[in-house]
Amino acid sequence: MNIEELSKSQLILLTILVNFVTSIATGILTVSLLDHAPAFVTQTVNRVVEHTIETVAQAAPAAVISAPAPSTQDLVTAALASDAERVVALYSAKDGTSTPALAVGTYLPNARAVVTAAQDALPKDVLVEFSDNSYDPASLSRDGKGIAIYGFADTAKLPKVHASTLVPGSDLKLGETALAIGADGFAATGIVSRVSEKSVHTTLPDIGAGSGAVDLSGNLIGIGAGASSGLLIPADAIAALLTATSTTATSTTATSS
């Protein structure tokens, strides 16, 4: 067969075969020559091989390029983006969106619920507007200690957003970063200034009652109490209400949002 008649793939396979046979022949020849070579030659070759292996092994870790750690700015923007996804508006189910929103709330995806600060009398049934502009009806399932929790029907198809853990007050540290998306959509940053059993104090401005505040990981540390700037209802209180056995109504039990 004429080599000029071979296709490109056949030529590549032929080249690989030739290289393979050549490498085997070279190895056999090298071993054969070393068997007949003087001892000092064999020792020299072995030392060269060992030195080469050591050099490659020492250089290998330096060749590994690790991904750079995220900057503080990256963490802040990611946490605020997650927080913004969970901001909801509550409308009267009777009047719909023809009237202004009754309250701002925070969506807890793992619990399939919305939590808000119960400053004013809220209706039992509301229409919840999510950040993607979709709407779903919800009913008051739990309330107490200034908190109102609304639950959705089991058949409701709710938006998929980043879930967040409810951070206990005991895990918060003074000076820890606190981030929030305010009721008007503005982003705010501050720090945790004081933590008590009933509240979390921060240097955040007034973010609006029911708006969620998160840490740098995007986990919920509390919701705006609305009483004064920077005052939050702690995540502990929300978690306790979610798991309470005696409430306004029964809802899904959860320990994280």
Whether 214 maps to a domain, the answer reads: no
**What are the residue ranges of helices labelled H in the chain?**
8-36, 39-63, 72-85, 235-243
CATH of the domain at 141: 2.40.10.10
- Reply yes or no on whether the pLDDT at 255 is more than 50: no
- Which of 104, 128, 162 finishes a domain? 162
- Which of 162, 195, 227 finishes a domain? 162
- How many Å separate Cα 137 from the centre of its chain? 27
Q: Mean of the per-residue pLDDT values for the chain? A: 83
User: For helices 39-63 and 8-36, what crossing angle results, to 10°?
Assistant: 130
Burial of 83 (0-12, 13-18, 19+ CB in 10 A): buried
The answer to whether residues 8 and 44 belong to one domain is yes
Whether 33 maps to a domain, the answer reads: yes
The answer to whether residues 50 and 93 belong to one domain is no
The answer to whether residues 49 and 116 belong to one domain is no
Within a 13 Å sphere around the CA of 84, how many CA atoms are in the beta-carbon half?
Answer: 13
Structural domain range at position 45: 3-63
The answer to whether residues 147 and 112 belong to one domain is yes
The answer to whether residues 108 and 152 belong to one domain is yes
CA angle 215, 121, 179 (to 5 degrees): 10
Whether 204 maps to a domain, the answer reads: no
Instruction: Determine the number of helices (DSSP H) and then strands (DSSP E) in the chain.
Output: 4, 12
Q: What is the mean pLDDT of residues 35-63?
A: 63
pLDDT (0 to 100) of residue 77? 94
Whether 20 maps to a domain, the answer reads: yes
The answer to whether residues 57 and 99 belong to one domain is no
Whether 233 maps to a domain, the answer reads: no
Structure tokens, 86: 């969970």
The answer to whether residues 98 and 147 belong to one domain is yes
The answer to whether residues 99 and 158 belong to one domain is yes
pLDDT (0 to 100) of residue 187? 94
Residue 39 neighbours by CB under 8 Å, 6+ apart: none
- Reply yes or no on whether the pLDDT at 251 is more than 60: no
pTM exceeding the 0.85 threshold for the entire prediction = no
Number of domains in the chain: 2
Which residue has better confidence, 233 or 27? 233
- Reply yes or no on whether the pLDDT at 184 is more than 70: yes
Which residue has better confidence, 211 or 13? 211
- Which of 162, 188, 209 finishes a domain? 162
pLDDT tens, position by position, 161-180: 988 899 999 999 999 999 99
- Reply yes or no on whether the pLDDT at 49 is more than 90: no
pLDDT tens, position by position, 95-140: 888 889 999 999 999 999 999 998 778 899 999 999 999 999 999 9
Q: Sign of the CA dihedral 61, 66, 72, 76?
A: negative
Q: What is the mean pLDDT of residues 44-62?
A: 64
Residue 98 neighbours by CB under 8 Å, 6+ apart: none
What is the distance between the alpha carbons of residues 140 and 105, in angstroms, rounded to a whole number?
13
Whether 211 maps to a domain, the answer reads: no
Whether 188 maps to a domain, the answer reads: no
What is the distance between the alpha carbons of residues 21 and 19, in angstroms, rounded to a whole number?
6
